[in-house]
Amino acid sequence: MSGVGFTVGAGAVVATLRPSPAPASRHRHFQHGAASGDPVADGVVLWTRVTPTPDARPGSGRGAPTEVDWEVAADEDFVDVVAAGVARTDARRDHTVKLDVRALQPATTYWYRFRHGPDTVGGRTRTAPAEDDDVQRLRLGVVCCANWQAGYFAAYRHLLDHDLDAVVHLGDYLYEYQPGKYSHGPDWTDVRRHDPPHETVSLEDYRRRHAQYKTDPDLQQLHAALPMVATWDDHEIADGWYPGGAFEHQRFTEGPWGRRKRAAMRAYDEWMPVRLGGTARVGDGTRIYRRFRFGRLADLSMLDLRGYRDERVEADDPRLDDAARSLTGADQEAWLVEGLATRGARWRLVGNPVMVAPMLMPPRPRGQELALRRTTDPMTWGPAEPNTDTWDGYPVERRRVLERIKEAGVDDVVFLSGDVHTAWANEVELDGAPVATELVCSSVTSNNVDDFMGTKPRTVSLAMEEAIVRMNPHVRFVNLDDHGYSVLELTPDEARMEWHAVSDRTDPDASSRLLATRRVPAGTNRVLPT
């Protein structure tokens, strides 16, 4: 594939992308779609969930052991079948099916399908290029923060308009809250209600919540059309979690924290097309940080910034500057800096769930300040109040990582960040000089600044954005209001990020528009307008 770019056209939606139709009176065996993920040069993870009997609902623990036939083909008519088999699943893994199909060809489009009884479900996927391929273009969708109760997932549908190779999900793929909490707007109105109708705590709860999200038609279509590379942030388990607990976990009413965390991670392993612990086998571990290579053009390091961090401290706590405190944990930090410092691909992408660039928030009227705090959990207020939930809360470790990048003489490190429900383009500086860049996607649906204030978009927030840029000269773009998705295009010459906004997150048929574009010329670590 030397000299050939790694591209997959969106094209027409093929017949296998949605579950096979069935009369309303007949039980459907595939109710949650199909998905692919974690593409490597010789393989990809494939996923589905079978409902063998009507009572074998997600999380129910019911239903007999079941077999599902699967096939992978080089053509959408399945004339040229290149891999096939029978997968066995049961209630112990919630009747999910997850396969790591190998011995495939690099940079190749494949179609796949699962069969059970009269029903079929499947989709299309793509392997990564070989490590030494001279890839000329890579296009990635970048998303985060999709709250079911706050709106519809039209952003996922519109990603298919952009000739993408894969989708990077930076976390908060789902939310753990009960109906009536953290929903739409300042009064938390539910656009759609969560199932189960309470905060997720048990294994059954998390399985049901994953199952609900995978009934969304736009998410099903996205999963069936493109491979996804995902990591978790906090809401897949609980708000603000770290190994020892979470902001809102109540031990006396919700049980031991360790049991809840294990349940959430188990459900994530079952329901997501990812390799946890390095394999697609459910239960092999909880390590989700991992690296992908796209020829000579790019590698992508996906981080876990929850599972190894030290507990968050307040901005005035003297422990903030303790060199022993870590956001990544020692092993992941060593893995990260080694990968960034090793010369290989042109672009070194970092899937970074929380923001890395230091950020100061200017003093604002009380209502605006509260909205910013609630959106960014919280951002910073003046030079002495960093947002300690992000890399700002672990400044010594951040400096170590940036110093290692500078010492290695490595340019073209791009942090792809999420979490804050707003859009940013930043130059990441060390001692006043840029050593990397950061491109932050907005939320798919989760509330941002105008939502919390209850104001009309692009009114009050404009002054807030201007003040932020004045206080943070390394910020080259910020948008505090719009929801949507981003598209990152890489070539040997530049990285280019587009931010797209949906017209109305409460409208399942929402349209999309281009919001902004910024570019990073290779070798500069500078964010420039287009």
pLDDT number for residue 20: 55
Phi, psi of 84 (to 5 degrees): -160, 160
Q: For residues 90-110, give the mean pLDDT.
A: 98
Q: Exposed, middle or buried by CB within 10 Å (0-12, 13-18, 19+), for 373?
A: middle
Per residue in 116-132, pLDDT tens? Answer: 999 999 999 999 999 99
**Range in 12-21, 180-189, 418-427, 486-495 the model is least confident about:** 12-21
Pairing of strands 413-417, 494-502: unpaired
From the list 463, 437, 435, 434, the residue with the least C-alpha distance to 449 is 463
Per residue in 42-67, pLDDT tens? Answer: 999 999 999 999 999 999 999 999 99
Distance CA 450, CA 483 (A): 11
The answer on pLDDT for 411 being more than 60 is yes
> What are the structure tokens assigned to 313, written together?
């401290």
Phi, psi of 506 (to 5 degrees): -85, 0
**Range in 125-139, 391-405, 460-474 the model is least confident about:** 460-474
Pairing of strands 512-521, 494-502: antiparallel
> What are the structure tokens assigned to 385, written together?
């109040």
Do residues 525 and 437 lie in contact, with contact meaning Cβ atoms separated by under 8 Å? yes
Distance CA 305, CA 321 (A): 18
CA angle 392, 396, 401 (to 5 degrees): 90
Domains of the chain: 1-124 (2.60.40.380), 138-172+215-231+280-529 (3.60.21.70)
Do residues 405 and 413 lie in contact, with contact meaning Cβ atoms separated by under 8 Å? yes
Q: What share of the chain is helix, strand, coil (3-state, %, to 5)?
A: 20, 25, 50
What is the phi-psi region of residue 365: left when phi exceeds 0, alpha when psi lies from -120 to 50, beta otherwise?
Answer: beta
From the list 231, 229, 214, the residue with the least C-alpha distance to 167 is 229
The answer on pLDDT for 373 being more than 80 is no
Distance of CA 524 to the CA centre of its chain: 27
Share of residues in the chain with pLDDT > 70 (%): 91
DSSP 507: -
DSSP 271: H
Distance CA 153, CA 499 (A): 16
Phi, psi of 197 (to 5 degrees): -80, 40
pTM tops 0.85: yes
Phi, psi of 399 (to 5 degrees): -65, -40
